[in-house]
Amino acid sequence: MTEPGFLETLNSLFGGAVTTLIGAFTGRLMYHSGEVKLGRRRFFGKELLWEIPVAIGMAIIGEAVASHFDLGQPVRTGLVAMLAYLGPRGAEALMTAWLCRKK
């Protein structure tokens, strides 16, 4: 029997919804930290508050995409974190590139 991974442990402790939100907030925090590092934001500025609805919205979108593709929990949380990191504009650019690709 193998030991459960980090996401499986979070999922068993808190449930799937909280694990998804942790992934989304982690993705937005990674983006926000990058902006701070580039000097575009202060870490504890008003911009940090705007990340909350973005994280929740991207969690909902990520869950819908993961459900559509019938992904398992670890992959599902990773997808949510990735989409949250990209944010609405990044997700739009990714979707546009995918839909407009040449076949």
Q: What is the mean pLDDT of the chain?
A: 89
**pTM for this model (two decimals):** 0.81
Number of neighbouring beta carbons within 10 Å of residue 75: 12
pLDDT band at 61 (very low <50, low <70, confident <90, very high): very high
User: What is the token pair recorded at 99?
Assistant: 């839909």
Token output for 61: 């979108």
Residue 103 has pLDDT above 70, yes or no: no
To which residue do tokens 């982690």 refer? Answer: 26
What CA–CA distance (Å, rounded) separates 56 from 75?
Answer: 18
Using the predicted structure, report yes or no on whether residue 1 has a pLDDT greater than 70. Answer: no
Listed by start position, the domains of the chain span: 6-102
Q: Between 102 and 98, whose confidence is greater?
A: 98
The pLDDT assigned to 39 comes to: 94
Kindly indicate the confidence band of residue 9, based on its pLDDT and cuts at 50, 70 and 90.
Answer: confident
Tokens of 49: 């508050």
| Intra-chain end-to-end CA distance of the chain, in Å | 44
- Rounded to the nearest angstrom, the gap between the alpha carbon of residue 72 and the centroid of all alpha carbons in its chain is 15
33-60: pLDDT as tens digits: 999 999 999 999 888 899 999 999 999 9
